[in-house]
Structure 1
Amino acid sequence: MKRMLALLMTLMLLLGLCACGAGSSGAGGDTAASSSGGASNEMNSTDSGWDNGSTQDAPQESEGQSSASVYQDAKLIRRAYLQIQTETFDQAVEALEKMVQECGGYFQNASVEGGSLRNQSASRWGNYTIRLPQEQFDTFLGRTGELGYVTSQSESSENVSQQYYDTEARLKAQRTKQERLLSLLEKADSMETIVALEDALSEVEYEIESLTTSLNEYDSLISYSTIELTLDEVGSITQTPGERDSLGARMMAGVQSSFRGLINGGRELLVWLSYNLVLVLVVAAVAVVAVVVLRKKGVLSWKKRGPGDGPGTPIG
């Protein structure tokens, strides 16, 4: 009986120990599972974060590349208009020719007006149409101050991408049509069909020539920018004070301008007299003769008339 009780107690003890071990193992497993799940979640969240970042960055890079590609493919016609004053016209013209040559451009039109052999002091002005490689456009404009005082400058850019690519697509379509017509012409077996195909080919060739000419003109205007430049010769370059300058500065500028006008007027008068000296001498001689004749006739006299002298009284 005692042995049976001892055996039962031993079995109960063993069962209790197994239950504690199972509970401990279950708790440890849950903890490990929880830890493993947390790590997994962190990795998933991290991966998700990287995925989100890469997903957001990708469109931005694509947009940047797209805009840069569009800018590079844009067909721009650039133009500039300048008016420059110079006190040394001949030197400025030489400098302009040198600048155009250094920039790899050429003069499409060039003309000089004003001045003459009889009036060397007359102002001259030059009108120039300059064609420059597009990459030298900004460089040339940055150097125009070397020619003189830039009184006005304006720039414009015309985007002809749509017209250019549309013309290019039409040209491609016409060339495809030309190839098909030539293929049909080779297989034609009647004179009526041959004549019709040749007429169609003539129209297509005319259209191809017209579109090719348009593309060549676009290429010329795009690759070579146009600059319209006017070079004016002036006696002196002065900067007139603006409305925001002080009253004293504006008055001083006015006085200086008056003196310059007086001096220039005197110079112009002397130049005119030098070119018309014979005429001046003839007029002076005629005036002297007329005075002498009138004095002899008593019409003119240096003496004053007395109180009793009438209009007909001669004065000796």
Structure 2
Amino acid sequence: MIRGKKVLVSISVCLIILSLSSCSSKSDSRSNSALTKPSQSLAMDSATTKGNADFNMGTTTDVAASKSDTKNEATASVQTKVAKDASKIVKNYSLQLQTLKFDEAVTAISSKCNDIGGYVEVSNISGTNVSSDNTVANRTASLKLRIPKEQYVSFKAIFKGLGNILNQQETGENITQQYFDTDAHLTSLKIQEERLLDLLKKSGDLKSILEIEKELQTVRYTIESLTTSLKKMDNMVDYTTFSISINEVQEIKKVTVKPISLMDKISEGFKGSVKLLIDIFKNLLILIAYVLPFAVIILIAYLVGRYIYKLIKKRQNKVTTAPSDAEK
């Protein structure tokens, strides 16, 4: 009996130990799960915060990325264009021309310019053909013309038949690098404009919208400025500038001089003497005309002074004669 009781006690003790161990394992699992849940929630919150930050910073990041991408695309586009297009050369031609037929030369140059599709930028004509004293005053013309580069050679050929060419000069300026650098910048800005418009459609934040619109305004202003610069350079390349100076001259005529005889010399001497005498008389009359007003004033002053002097002299004589009469 005693042995049986001991066995029962041992069995009950084992059961109690097993039940305690099972409770402790459950509590540990619960505590572990409780610790795991806050860490998971923190991880989810950080991921959410990061996502919101990425969304708010997306505009700046996308704009920066778009700028780097547009540079690469613009460079590739310009390299292709450089391979296809020729060099950009700005040509200038200056000419100094002498002509006997001034009006015909000016008319011929202006007509040829209009016929080949050019235009007159500056036209200045000075001088008169006949002056008031029937002497000839030579005229000058200064023309600045813009001629299509395809007509450069044909237009230059007309000057040989218009007169004597004193001086001519041709210059060329290579603006290829400047042109394609500007074009690359313009292409880059256009691509950037498209990407900014895409970002503007996707953005829902007011601050981001304002930043994108501000960037768009700057980009569009620069695009307009670069477009104007390219058009100006295209015009400079497509049209050659002709600076023409035209001087009217007179034909030199040879004069035959007759031999001078003795009678001719005497006659010329007499004529010279008469002319000299006439000139002296004219100059004398001019001198009298200048002096006459002063002479009149001097004469009046002399007469007035003489009259006053006589009055004073007369009074003095009366004063001296009065005492002598009293003594008598």
Alpha-carbon offset, residue 105 of structure 1? 1.1
Q: Distance in 1 between matches of 2:205 and 2:85?
A: 51
Alpha-carbon offset, residue 191 of structure 1? 2.1
Alpha-carbon offset, residue 101 of structure 1? 2.1
Question: Could you list the runs of 5+ residues in structure 2 that have no partner in the other structure?
Answer: 1-81, 258-277, 289-328
Q: Distance in 2 between matches of 1:73 and 1:230?
A: 32
Q: 1:88 aligns with which of 72, 76, 101?
A: 101
Q: What percentage of residue pairs aligned between the two structures are identical?
A: 33
Post-superposition, which runs of at least 4 consecutive aligned residues in structure 1 deviate over 3 A? Answer: 69-72, 116-120, 283-286, 288-291
Alpha-carbon offset, residue 102 of structure 1? 2.7
Secondary structure, counterpart of 1:157 in structure 2: strand
What's the counterpart of residue 124 of structure 1? 139
Q: Distance in 1 between matches of 2:83 and 2:184?
A: 18
Residues 237 and 92 of structure 1, relative CA distance in 2, 3 Å threshold: farther
What's the counterpart of residue 275 of structure 2? none
Counterpart check, 1:110 vs 2:119: no
Alpha-carbon offset, residue 188 of structure 1? 2.1
Q: 1:152 aligns with which of 153, 156, 167?
A: 167
Structure 2 matches for 1:65-84, cutoff 5 A? 73-84=86-97
What's the counterpart of residue 210 of structure 1? 225
Alpha-carbon offset, residue 171 of structure 1? 0.4
Deviations along 1:177-229, whole A, 9 cap, x unmatched?
11111111112222221211111111101110111011101110111111100
The alignment of Structure 1 onto Structure 2 pairs a total of residues equal to 185
Secondary structure, counterpart of 2:197 in structure 1: helix
Contact 1:181 1:201 in 2 (8 A): yes
Counterpart check, 1:140 vs 2:182: no
Q: Distance in 2 between matches of 1:237 and 1:148?
A: 15
Secondary structure, counterpart of 1:112 in structure 2: strand
Q: TM-score, normalised by structure 2?
A: 0.51
Alpha-carbon offset, residue 115 of structure 1? 2.2
Contact 1:149 1:237 in 2 (8 A): no
Question: Could you list the runs of 5+ residues in structure 1 that have no partner in the other structure?
Answer: 1-68, 239-255, 263-282, 294-316
Amino acid at match of 2:94: Y
Q: Distance in 1 between matches of 2:84 and 2:190?
A: 28
Secondary structure, counterpart of 1:73 in structure 2: coil
Amino acid at match of 2:282: A
Contact 1:87 1:237 in 2 (8 A): no
Q: Distance in 1 between matches of 2:157 and 2:142?
A: 19
Residues 73 and 288 of structure 1, relative CA distance in 2, 3 Å threshold: closer
Alpha-carbon offset, residue 286 of structure 1? 6.4
Counterpart check, 1:101 vs 2:101: no
Q: Distance in 2 between matches of 1:70 and 1:148?
A: 44
Deviations along 1:238-293, whole A, 9 cap, x unmatched?
9xxxxxxxxxxxxxxxxx7xx69x9xxxxxxxxxxxxxxxxxxxx969618749x9
Residues 182 and 131 of structure 1, relative CA distance in 2, 3 Å threshold: same
Q: Distance in 2 between matches of 1:71 and 1:228?
A: 32
Amino acid at match of 1:110: S
